[in-house]
Amino acid sequence: MSTDQYFDDPEVGLARETSHPAFVCVATQDFYYDCGDDFSPFGNDDGNDTLAALEAWYQEQTGVKPARALRFLRQQLSDWDLPVPGDMLAHDNAAKAQWLASDDMNQRYLRSVCRAHVATAFGQFKITGCIDADLHQQALLALACQQWLNTVARSKYPDWEYADQESERLALMNTALEQASAA
């Protein structure tokens, strides 16, 4: 294991102490380290599985410079075999809405893809202290898509008690990603 990479202790789990200092400076809120918080990058099943796989992927890298994390993400999503078009995050909201309407499960699939993008970006930042530019852009698109999905859910379920919490967390993660790119 390289000294410039940080991996969680399986006995302890997510922790500031086992995260890159640059990540800790940006990810100051406790929810970043809560593997049971559905609205954190690593707290939902998709994010937790992605972080675990990303840590293993980094630990398996034998070259001086590991492959780009977006390559990892594409393989992860291919393994998951979700029927989400590869460029869906770049589509406008009308195209996303049309795609969502074609199957009741599509919202769940799209949310999983978004969460994997976000977890990969935050995971890379947590492990290495930086985020590849292409992955950073994809994570921002994924957060914007999740905010849009939040808006869609609010209109469909106006009494959804966690709508504000999710939206606030998405905004905090967006800000953290912007700070990470400046670091």
pLDDT for res 45: 95
- As for how many domains the chain has, the answer is 1
Per-residue pLDDT, averaged over 33-42, amounts to: 95
- Residue 60 belongs to what domain range? 16-182
pLDDT of 74 strictly over 70 = yes
- Would 5 be classed as within a structural domain? no
3-state secondary structure labels for all residues of 7-66: CCECCCECCHHHCCHHHHHHCCCHHHHCCCCCCCCCCCHHHHHHHHHHHHHHHHCCCCCC
Instruction: Quote the CA–CA distance of 142 and 12 in Å, as a whole number.
Output: 29
168 in a domain, yes or no? Answer: yes
Rounded-to-integer distance, Cα 42 and Cα 32, Å:
7
Asked if residue 78 is part of any domain, the answer here is yes
| 54 lies in some domain | yes
- Distance, in Å, from the CA atom of 87 to the CA atom of 138, rounded to the nearest integer, reads 10
Taking the whole predicted model, whether its pTM rises above 0.85 is answered as yes
Closest CA to 84 of 125, 138, 48, 45: 138
- Determine the pLDDT at residue 8: 94
Domain membership flag for residue 129: yes
Mean pLDDT of 23-28: 97
